[in-house]
Amino acid sequence: MFDTVLVANRGEIAVRVIRTLRALGIRSVAVFSDADADARHVREADTAVRIGPAPASQSYLSVQRILEAAARTGAQAVHPGYGFLAENADFARACAEAGLAFIGPPAEAISLMGDKIRAKETVREAGVPVVPGGRDPELAAAAHELGAPVLLKPSAGGGGKGMRLVRDLAVLDEEIAAARREAAASFGDDTLLVERWIDRPRHIEIQVLADGHGNVVHLGERECSLQRRHQKIIEEAPSVLLDDKTRAAMGEAAVQAARSCGYRGAGTVEFIVPGGDPDAYYFMEMNTRLQVEHPVTELITGLDLVEWQLRVAAGEKLTFAQDDIRLTGHAIEARICAEDPARGFLPSGGSVLRLREPSGDGVRTDSGLTEGTEVGSLYDPMLSKVIAYGPDRATALRKLRAALAGTVTLGVQTNAGFLRRLLAHPAVVAGELDTGLVEREVDALVSAEVPEEVYAAAAAVRLQGLRPADEGWTDPFSVPSGWRLGGMAKPLAFDLRVPGLEPVTHEADGAHTVTEDRVSVTLDGVRHTFHRAADWLGRDGDAWHVRDHDPVAASLTRSAHSGADSLTAPMPGTVTVVKVAVGDEVSAGQSLLVVEAMKMEHVISAPHAGTVAELDVVPGTTVAMDQVLAVIAPAEQTVEEEVSA
């Protein structure tokens, strides 16, 4: 076994790998960019090495700098985690050439399965059914031959990055261009493939484990059908769709796929399964690394997959055969991401002001967060994972909903509350899942309306802030107590007036409690309690950033561009594409700019026909949320329009 292992990653997966290294008595080495100098994985490792500036291309994706860090710290092996260089065959080869063990499959297997077309051809020859499709350079021709809808996918990567569902082939060229940009940004390779889209499919994957002595087993399946924008958000094991016969057949197909490429270590074979016919499963791809959702498999098998990755890489044999593996109970995982459901799930950012992560019987949290962590737009938006285990699915669901309700990440908007509501949806509770369920139901699961009690809690905090510090004599006129020259007035109350809501009179005497980290208010005899940090309030996984509203300042802002529309950044990020210049005439809906954050693109379009009056950014400009990017002056009305008006 190794004495020292370098973890070539960051965030929750780096922390997760370090946990197993510590349990095995292995010295851990973390690497970090300038942006992560005080990150949790850096604090928890035995040794940490700075490897470069914040952009991943100059740090976490720099093979040379990672190998130099390994050499400087005496590491014997490198664990790549997932993402970044985890499925980079050149990195695996470079590790071998440097005398380092790569804790993953052979470079040849990564290369073969990383090319999704070659992977499909290889597993097809091994007898595994595959989804019909095509690839570059005949991508467009293959898409038209398949017919809409089709799915565009990067050949070099996974995780939903760069994937585009095209239901109208009239926009195929534009979608291909966008998919190429995202693929190049995420994987350094813009090669695409296209596949036939199967409506209402289920996404089921099989975990495999292979040693270097010819032994390959599968560890059952994971249901990953709850997705948004082709990215998994909830995963569970086992799947309620499969019976024992289908599970065994899919497991054997996954084992054959692993054998076909000479696999070694932990990997995942992904299948697309028509919900109405589970026997008709198709190979999609093989992920040649540890998966984000590996904890659910660990909980139902009792195996530490990171430990077995290490043992296999060190040359050990598997100590169990297929018949020795037992799947016990049920486990479900939820991915906590820095995104704002109320703003269309756009990436969010900020400083973590208050953090509370669930634990306890049957609950596990894998996280890279600490209070004070700065969440920026440079890396993947996933912050942590909350996993619940129970003897059956109903118990696991109930525990996970409770765990999400107890999750507090104030200072950064997350999807925790949204996930809690999703797990309570009748279709999810019944196990009637498919990859389109979230998109169909999203409006019912996201509410832009702020509950009345949030405003009451904010008012209570504001009132508390008006109270002078208790230091010696205090001018009674400055205390919001109801004191008057003639004595005390009636018990103090404040009126809460919010547009669209009925005025609420809130009694101050005993009706609310404000502490540094909690706020409690009573409305209509019901007491509501919130977590608090600065101007943030949180409850049941949801959070609200409450700021004072100055109507005069708002009026001045609105009038700053009188007669024009300003386009603002919907999220903190980087401008990657600018398609117009000042003075250009644009049409309504025309694509003008592209802002990228956390490997996600957002297109900024013209709200109406007009002329570009201002343009404040260029490609590469870093922008804050709501920052003005451009101003579009409306086109002049025609005479007929003026008369009709």
More confident of the two residues 482 and 349? 349
Structure tokens at 356: 């509370």
Q: Read off the DSSP letter of residue 467.
A: S
Cβ-proximal residues to 131 (8 Å cutoff; 6+ apart), any chain: 120, 195, 196, 198, 272, 282, 283, 284
Cβ atoms of 504 and 524 closer than 8 Å: no
pLDDT in tens, 356-380: 999 999 999 999 999 999 998 889 8
Instruction: Give the DSSP letter of residue 587.
Output: -
Which has more pLDDT, 44 or 132? 44
Give pLDDT, residue 550. Answer: 65
Could you write out the three-class secondary structure of 121-175?
HHHHHCCCCECCEEECCCHHHHHHHHCCCEEEEECCCCCCCCCEEECCHHHHHHH
Q: Quote helix, strand, coil % in the chain, to nearest 5.
A: 30, 30, 40
pLDDT-wise least confident of 112-116, 223-227, 433-437 = 112-116
Higher pLDDT, 58 or 489: 58
Q: What is the pLDDT of residues 129-164, one digit of tens each?
A: 998 888 888 899 999 999 999 999 998 876 677 889
13-42 tens-digit pLDDT:
999 999 999 999 999 999 999 999 999 999
Render pLDDT for 283-334 as a digit per residue (tens, 0 to 9): 999 999 999 999 999 999 999 999 999 999 999 999 999 999 999 999 999 9
Phi/psi of residue 454, nearest 5 degrees: -65, -45
Q: Is the pLDDT of residue 221 over 80?
A: yes
pLDDT at 575 over 70: yes
Distance between CA atoms of residues 11 and 220, nearest Å: 27
Helices 416-423, 393-405: axis angle to 10 degrees equals 150
Whether 245 has a pLDDT exceeding 70, the answer reads yes
The 10s digit of each residue's pLDDT in 92-109 is 999 999 999 999 999 999
User: 429 pLDDT exceeds 60?
Assistant: yes
In this structure, the number of other CB atoms found within 10 A of the CB of residue 556 comes to: 10
Q: Given its phi and psi angles, is residue 610 left (phi above 0), alpha (psi -120 to 50 degrees) or beta? A: left
Digit-coded pLDDT (tens) for 475-512: 665 555 555 565 555 444 545 554 444 555 555 445 68
Both tokens assigned to 557: 């802002």
Beta bridge partners of 130: 283
Q: What is the pLDDT at residue 555?
A: 60
What domains can you pick out in the chain, each with its CATH number?
Answer: 4-103 (3.40.50.20), 105-127+203-328 (3.30.470.20), 132-197 (3.30.1490.20), 329-448 (3.30.470.20), 452-468+479-545 (no CATH), 552-644 (2.40.50.100)
- Asked if pLDDT for residue 644 goes beyond 60, the answer is no
Average pLDDT estimate for 174-186? 90
Which residue is it, tokens 């598997």? 318
What are the distances in angstroms from CA 277 to CA 35, 241, 439, 480, 594? 48, 10, 22, 67, 40
Q: What is the pLDDT of residue 562?
A: 46
Burial environment of residue 184 by CB neighbours within 10 A (0 to 12, 13 to 18, 19 or more) = middle
Whole-angstrom Cα distance, residue 130 to residue 120? Answer: 6
Share of the chain above pLDDT 90, in %: 71
Reported confidence tier of residue 448, pLDDT bands at 50, 70, 90: confident
Buried b (16+ CB within 10 A) or exposed e, 497-529: eeeeeeebebebeebbebeeeebbbbbeeeebe
